[in-house]
Amino acid sequence: PIGTVFSNINDPNTSVTVSSYGNYNFTWTEDNNYNCTDTDDVEIIFYETPNPNAGLTQTICGLNVILNAQQPIGNGSWSGNNVNFSNPSSPTSNANSYIYGNNTFIWTDNNNGCIGIDSVIINFIEIPVSQAGIDEATCGLSYNLNANPSVGTGTWSGPIGTVFSNINDPNTSVTVSSYGNYNFTWTENNNGCFDNDSVQIEFIVNPIANAG
């Protein structure tokens, strides 16, 4: 067809380049110089070679991510280890990882046997489960808190005037300026994944007995 380019039209094994993808018929003609000729045709189908894009690297809190690959030219499919895909043929499939940390997902685009592969790394971070302890009452203005740490770094916070001996210690002592009910919050940060929980402590006046 018009636009076809042969590297050598007399070479039976010539290379040929076309201008667009699709079906092309090429004719090979032989002439023995005695006006004896013969021809034969061959059909070649040119398919586009995929250049897939599996999406950007992400950091996710938890074990679930929505992937974001480029739409395939042919048929796309996800694969990987320690993972379950809700729809492996969808570029935006939901993926549930069985492990925390970096997990690699492979996006394959198969266009009638012409295959392209790309991969993306997702970093799954465990979400903390903060437990600040149980509500209590104490005599005096000081108390030892009792959080149950999970993962990451924990930090205590409280009302203005509250003094913690160590805000990152789950069992820190806390001193308040006056009697009453106080709420203290234990916040855990695991590489940007947060959770918090609060506990209420009632500080009660210590009696000073005078029998005389």
d(CA 105, CA 120): 5
d(CA 182, CA 165): 17
Q: Which two tokens stand for residue 104?
A: 């690699």
Whether residue 200 contacts residue 182, with contact meaning beta carbons closer than 8 Å, is answered with: yes
Whether residue 16 contacts residue 5, with contact meaning beta carbons closer than 8 Å, is answered with: yes
pLDDT digits (tens, 9 = 90+) for 28-87: 999 988 789 999 999 999 999 999 999 999 999 999 999 999 999 999 999 999 999 999
Give CA 83 to chain center in angstroms.
12
d(CA 126, CA 84): 18
pLDDT on residue 159: 95
pLDDT digits (tens, 9 = 90+) for 42-59: 999 999 999 999 999 999
* Burial (Cβ within 10 Å: 0-12, 13-18, ≥19) of residue 154: buried
DSSP state of 82: S
23-31 LR contacts (CB < 8 Å, sep 24+): 25/1
